[in-house]
Amino acid sequence: MTFAVGDVQEGLPVMLSALWSPPSGASLRAPRFPRPAPVERARSARIAALAERPERERDFWRAVEAEGTPLVEAVAGDPGHAAVTFLWRGTAATRTVLVLPNQVADPEDLAGNLMSRVPGTDVWHWTIRMRADWRATYALCVDDADSDGSGGSAEGDEGTGDGPEGCSAPGARQAYLRRLRRHPRRDPLNRTVFPSRWGAEPLSVVALPAAPVPLGGDRAHPAARAGELSVHTLRSGHLHNWRRVWAYAPAGHEDLTGLPVVVLLDGDVWQQLGISQLLDGLVHAGRLPPLIALLPDALDSDTRRRELACDERFVAFLTHELLPWAARRWPVSGDPSRTVVAGQGLGGLAAAYAALRRPERFGNVLAQSGAFWWPAARREGACPEEWLTGRVRALARRPVRFHLSAGLQEWGVPAAGHRLRDALSAKGYEVAHHEYNGGHDYLCWRDDLAQGLVGLLRGPFPGAVPGGGPRGLVVGGG
């Protein structure tokens, strides 16, 4: 086995390992990045027409029900942008409607995302100007004064308190809206939904006309052979816990050898997002070779924060427990250049740390919206910010390739990613960097994951035929 500089070998000083030991006592919470500019509002011609003729409300709703929401209208003289109008059909009890597209809000001024009601109608609306390639998940938070706590109650500790009428004191309105924000619901007029995490209500989806066509769009091809997604329970001696691990194996894997391995963190989310169908379609199209994907469960939010913040024990779990366990069950490659570790947010940070710490096992990193700001300094003289980027600058290059991506709507996240990208490039790493018009959003990450895997595992692949998948393809072992 080949060790890179900084690994501990018998006879080498322990201080070399200390170079990769993360700071202790660092905050696991993300810093509050201020929104650089207010959400840009726009005028909706359809709402303006309704305001002039409110008696046509019934025709308006009939058209909306046929089209679905949100409404998308052209912006005069600006083909690169669209006016996007979110709607809610209120009742006499409706007091407040808050719109929350992913990252398109100022958390310190939620009032900027409040709908208005067209006088004399039940039409509540909120219109923004967005670039025509934008896509996002979103939720609506509605205070219907007489509704129960599950959808935005106006009563009790779990509801929205006294409602908008009791918001005269300084800060009271923002506090009211923060309480209302705890009760998101999907848009009933939007037929496109996306799963949420931790059992939450599904989210609605907006995708403007110029939004990218998903690379995995051929996943529903009827000729694609279905792989197998199985679930297992694995105990970690390093982490002292048990977790589920979902495993994807391609069709016909019994006849293949040396399959690439993808370790995809936050597997509890990805197994809900059709990862098996996505990989089936990419393999069928010859964009990816047949591969094994391992999806470990994050367990819960507190465990996730602790394990993914550059935790050596978590790296040991991946390296010494998860991968050997998989090798006993499937014909996987041991070649680091054919092994990808992928994650989002803190998972992206953990993926980069795992590969830089153990390049003899992980040769590829797919980090989406990585939390490279970590650890966030809470006071002067505290832990240095962007610790991993500092390690990259200080230590010798390792044989690892990177795919980094982030959303343009994420404010502070792309800037930290840019600094990591620049540090990696200065050291001679191979880095692909991609930015998309979206937020901190699995809707965007799902499609970017496909692009990143294709780039890191480099297709098209031998054996792919037009309209069909690889036939009897043996992928080089290691």
Q: Would you give per-residue pLDDT tens digits along the chain (478 residues)? A: 333 333 434 444 444 466 777 777 666 677 777 888 899 999 999 999 999 999 999 999 999 999 999 999 999 999 999 999 999 999 999 999 999 999 999 999 999 999 999 999 999 999 999 999 999 999 999 999 765 443 444 444 444 455 666 566 668 999 999 999 999 999 999 999 998 887 778 999 999 999 998 776 544 567 778 999 999 999 999 999 999 999 999 988 888 899 999 999 999 999 999 899 999 999 998 999 999 999 999 999 999 999 999 999 999 999 999 999 999 999 999 999 999 999 999 999 999 999 999 999 999 999 999 999 998 655 444 445 799 999 999 999 999 999 999 999 998 788 999 999 999 999 999 999 999 999 999 999 999 999 999 999 985 444 333 333 332 222 223 3
Number of helical H runs and strand E runs in the chain: 13, 17
User: Residues with Cβ < 8 Å from 68, sequence gap 6 or more?
Assistant: 189, 190, 191, 192
CB 364 within 8 A of CB 452: no
Residue 45 · residue 73 · CB < 8 Å: yes
- If one counts every other C-beta atom within 10 angstroms of the C-beta of residue 314, the result is 21
Burial-class residue 456 by CB neighbours within 10 Å (0-12, 13-18, 19+): buried
Give me the torsion for CA of 53, 58, 62, 65, rounded to 10°: 100
- Exposed (0-12), middle (13-18) or buried (19+): which is 408, by Cβ within 10 Å? middle
